[in-house]
Amino acid sequence: MVQSRLVSRFVRDVVAVRLAFGVALLAACSGVGTSASLATPLAPSVDQAEPVPGAPDHGNDPAIVALDIAGRGLCSGALIAVDVVITARHCVSAARGPLVCPERDNATVESLPPQSVRILVGDDTSSAVERARGRRLLVPPGGALCGADIALVLLDEPIDDVQSLTVRPTGAANGDHLRSVSFGRVAGAGAAMTKLVRDHVPVLGTTATELLVGEGPCDEGGCGGPALDEKSGQIVGVASRVVPGGAAASNAYTRTDAFLALIQQSLDGTTSVTTGTGILKAKKGTPDLGANCALGTECSAGACVTAGKQRYCSRPCGPRDACPAHFGCEQSQQGEPVCIEK
What is the domain partition of the chain in residue ranges?
35-52+287-342, 58-267
Give the pLDDT confidence of 183-220 residue by residue, as tens digits: 988 765 566 889 999 999 999 999 999 999 988 878 76
Task: Tell which phi-psi region holds residue 298, choosing left (phi > 0), alpha (psi between -120 and 50) or beta.
Answer: alpha
pLDDT in tens, 282-336: 998 889 999 999 999 999 999 999 999 999 999 999 998 999 999 999 999 999 9
CA quadruple 196, 200, 206, 209: dihedral, nearest 10:
40
* Rounded mean pLDDT, 226-234: 95
Sign of the CA dihedral running 14, 18, 21, 27: negative
pTM of the shown model: 0.85
Contacts of 315 (CB under 8 A, 6+ apart): 199, 200, 286, 289, 299, 301, 303, 323, 338, 339
One-letter amino acid for residue 296 of the chain:
G
Q: Which CATH class is domain 58-267?
A: mainly beta
> SS3 for 233?
coil
Q: What tens digit of pLDDT does each residue of 249-281 get?
A: 689 999 999 999 999 999 997 766 655 678 999
Cα distance between residue 53 and residue 294, in whole Å: 15
